[in-house]
Structure 1
């Protein structure tokens, strides 16, 4: 499903700057992701991709610049602020608790308490509701697991990635940011995750995909944000650029057209 060029911009940044002593991580970086698109972010090591994503997800406070969500300026003091605004991020470590169940992981940090005094006074959790909603979330995204009660440590790498992505999709209202989601996976499990990313987008969410895997980028992305030397070097439609040219812009071998 291609995204119209007239689709509104959901998340936007202008002139983001972040400096650590003499090291400039972001040097006036811009960013745009449209509603319902998959936007790939690529760049060489040290290009500022991680700093950019951390600024957009509330894990980093930029020294200068502006971030807008749905046209309104926002300031995220923490990742919790970004999550409350509807932006979910899945980092490479997945932030899963291996010994806990799938349902418990989906609601980790957002546990649902039982109604009435049992929840308000005795802080008892509504486990049946969490299990039911977790199962519904996984089913909606086509994530196949044996039991919602099984421990995450019993899952394969691809299944764990699926749980992390499903958790983000269940709570995101605007954007899901995925940091190298297939980096440690084999061919079959990578295919499962790529299909999952497409299903997340098909639910109307914008997906920001940070990846070094160029075939995956060109397979999935509607547009490509090329980061270089702390700023955006180019923002191009995937169909309008070759993989070779994208790498050339990314490495500085060629100027963006």
Structure 2
């Protein structure tokens, strides 16, 4: 496994693989890797000839400076995991390598920008769009791999690829969960023991809401019950719990068993903000 830190280092390697007609797979991450990330890596290794993983904690997608400052950084452990998994290259750039000058460009993803994560984290998707565009231009992969846990981010990146005509395909990999159902997230390692227990309310609420919907219960009544459950959970503070179309991300006021739908949730557990989602009708 080779660690590269700049586009200039990568260019001759990319050209060599292109000349050998190798398919290049790319897994962009912010590090603090867990089994969910490694699922993306394994998928890339199985589907492409060369796998590149980036580790870059992107400052422009954090609307909360404290969240950025406390984001876990475990580079040595990450590199060990990636080497063991059989990754070919790790792109480990500095902030200056990604942002050599101040970025003045602003992305507006339209309706996706103003609901759910876009509503509660203003500027977040602009930061995501800029860094993913930069990484796509630098690495020039044939296939990029993303996790389903960040459902709205997936929608943003699909729109980015389509609207800017990036010559690559996207592979979306299902959410990896802990044995008790909690969606794997780098932020989980910041949870204290009691917070970790109470964080299960996200998964449990998704499961219950999905089950209730499929047995014919009213969505607004279900959501009210979930809101009460969060209010009774001392360390939890619910931001949203919405039934949405998984492509437009528009919220439903009632459940349509004949249309696509997913449930999305975001909540603080103590000081840690977690998100999750679950398809109801894929």
Q: TM-score, normalised by structure 2?
A: 0.27
Task: Judging by fraction of residues, say which structure has more strand.
Answer: 1
